[in-house]
Amino acid sequence: MSQRSNIKVCHLSSVHFALDTRIYYRMCLFLSKTYEVSLIAVHPRKETLNGIHIIPFRRFHNRQVRVTIGWLLMFFKALKVNAGIYHLHDPELIPCGLLLRLLGKKVILDIHENIAEDLFDKPWIKHQKRAYLIFHFFEKLACRYFYIILAEKSYEKRYRNLAKRCATVQNYCDVDFFTPFIKQEYKHALQLYYIGIILENRGILQIIEAMHLLEKEGHIAHFHCVGELYSDLDRKIRHLPYYAEIKDRLHFYGRMTLEEGYALAGKMDIGLCVIWPMKNSMESYPTKLFEYMAVGLPIITSDFDLYRQAVEDHHCGICVNPLDPSDLKNAVKNIHTDVKNSELMVKNGKNAVKNFYNWESQKPILSKVYEELGQ
């Protein structure tokens, strides 16, 4: 993208916060160099940041309400923007996109996760088979009338045959963005770090138990956690039998901007990403893996084939059984005590991001999608 286009672009999400890594920091910032970009997403106020017009959308805590009426409310907000291209980031906004197509607008659906498979990993969905049939009906419409963007290559086996137009834009790391946050000195102080949505299936309880096991062996670790802590998980943490012993070493900061979160990461020693084995998570790279590499943190992550390719093949971390606190404890101790090896992991991780997992490699793909739709 070189010349400035007069086409207006609008990104839509009823689920994600406006300053989402993929939506705002990757796509919107890049596209804003060529297009006038608006973003309708969960945000406290209307404002313009880095030339991107952010329009707040109400956050619905009730999922059923969000799914049934959120798309319609989004449609009316989207109409006011009067963009030429609308980029949807949630499958529940497909009805909104179909109405926009009826009005002659170009529509992109960004598949962040394999929703069809993910439906069966969501216990709050009571009638999963029925939900799948409903989703598949709208999915086929989207694949027929929208341009489909996939965040992972593993999704191609489903969508390449369904979609008329499809491209894969992987959620790699913007190395330039993270350069100011690179850790300058590795102190081996057992400061453990996590950033992202804080759910039980992100291994939070296993991490805390691993801390307790480390303490029994004379290693005192702190856990620093950036993100929104859900109340049910908070209750489970407080009811752990050893909570009183470690509570002062659990640091929950709440939501932060990406800049704030990674400024904090520069003071940490190990990046954690121990997601439970769910089909969608096993086939999708967590963005934080590459971000940890970029800022110079050795990584402990789940022992999935895909994750091993990024972490162990490049020797920048250790893969563990995400359901086994003892395995996690041993990995933390390994990185903490083997100074020479952990510093090599830091060096290798930064090189891997620069050479293999860099957002720069994905920009031309995204550019081509928009150029095709703008013709």
Banded pLDDT at 187 (limits 50, 70, 90):
confident
- Give, for 117, the enclosing helix (H) or strand (E): helix 115-118
Mean pLDDT of the chain: 93
With CA atoms as reference, report the closest residue to 21 among 188, 226, 193, 206: 226
Q: Looking at the predicted structure, is the pLDDT value of residue 189 above 90?
A: no
Neighbours of 351 (CB within 10 A): 13
Q: What is d(CA 62, CA 284) in angstroms, rounded to the nearest whole number?
A: 26
Domains within the chain, CATH numbers bracketed: 8-172+359-374 (3.40.50.2000), 176-355 (3.40.50.2000)
Q: What is d(CA 60, CA 162) in angstroms, rounded to the nearest whole number?
A: 31
With CA atoms as reference, report the closest residue to 182 among 17, 37, 341, 297: 297
For CA atoms 44, 50, 53, 57, give the dihedral sign: negative
Using CA atoms in the order 318, 301, 324, 275, what is the torsion angle rounded to 10 degrees? Answer: -170
For 47-103, write each residue's pLDDT tens digit.
Answer: 999 999 999 999 887 777 888 899 999 999 999 999 999 999 999 999 999 999 999
The residues near 181 (Cβ < 8 Å, ≥ 6 apart) are 259, 262, 263, 265, 266, 294, 295
Q: What is d(CA 192, CA 265) in angstroms, rounded to the nearest whole number?
A: 9
Q: What pTM value is reported for the model?
A: 0.91
